[in-house]
Amino acid sequence: MSITYGYVRVSTESQKLDRQFVAMREFGVPEGNTFHDKLSGKDFERPSYQRLLKKLKHGDTLVIKSIDRLGRDYCEILEQWRIITKEKQAAIVVLDIPLLDTRHKERDLTGTFIADLVLQILSYVAQSEREAIRQRQAEGIAAAKARGVKFGREPKERPEAFCEIAGAWERREISAREAARRLNVHHKTFLEWVKT
């Protein structure tokens, strides 16, 4: 018996899945058959997606809202599409793009060609958007740094005993690890402190 599954994804914990869950219910995905991840689409190492992939069998159907919900890496989207439709022989339905519905096996050569072409274009667009996001992020960070915004943790205050312990380290009376232990910091922090 074939089973219909849904897959929904957002990139961060703060984003909402509601709109995609509504689309799955409206399509008729049975309650409890929708898998979700709150992780980036840069790769397919997502726990729920991996569980879903293991469940998919011949004749099953996977429903997604849009191609970028599946992922944002061009080659990986095409590879996952191949695994699902060819290796597992399951169908995929992309709700936003009716052409990307592989349930219709009787589709002629022209229809298959058009669907493959649309998939290639949308996969390319998904990856391009991911690269644009990364570029905008880098530009935002650079602009913030130019305005004097500091990133990362505030540097740790040196304890009062630092000079005495650093002196013992410089005289080779103790190791850097022992000095760090006495100061209750990581040895790399200690080594940074003695460099400055």
Among residues 91, 121, 96, the alpha carbon closest in space to that of 106 is found at 91
Catalytic residue of the set 11, 40, 48, 66: 11
Gap between the Cα atoms of 67 and 119, Å rounded:
8
Res. 157 pLDDT band, cuts 50 70 90: confident
pLDDT in tens, 16-54: 999 999 999 999 999 899 999 998 877 788 999 999 999
Res. 107 pLDDT band, cuts 50 70 90: low
Gap between the Cα atoms of 65 and 62, Å rounded:
10
CA torsion through residues 84, 88, 89, 93, sign: negative
Residue 79 clears pLDDT 80, i.e. is over it: yes
Query: Using N-to-C axis directions, what is the helix angle for 109-146 and 74-82, rounded to 10°?
Result: 150
Give residue 148's region: left, alpha or beta (phi > 0; psi -120 to 50): left
**196 vs 171: which has the higher pLDDT:** 171
pTM of the model: 0.61
Indicate the domain borders of the chain: 4-132, 162-195
Residue 144 clears pLDDT 90, i.e. is over it: no
Domain 4-132: assigned CATH number: 3.40.50.1390
Catalytic residue status for 175: no
Residue 140 clears pLDDT 60, i.e. is over it: yes
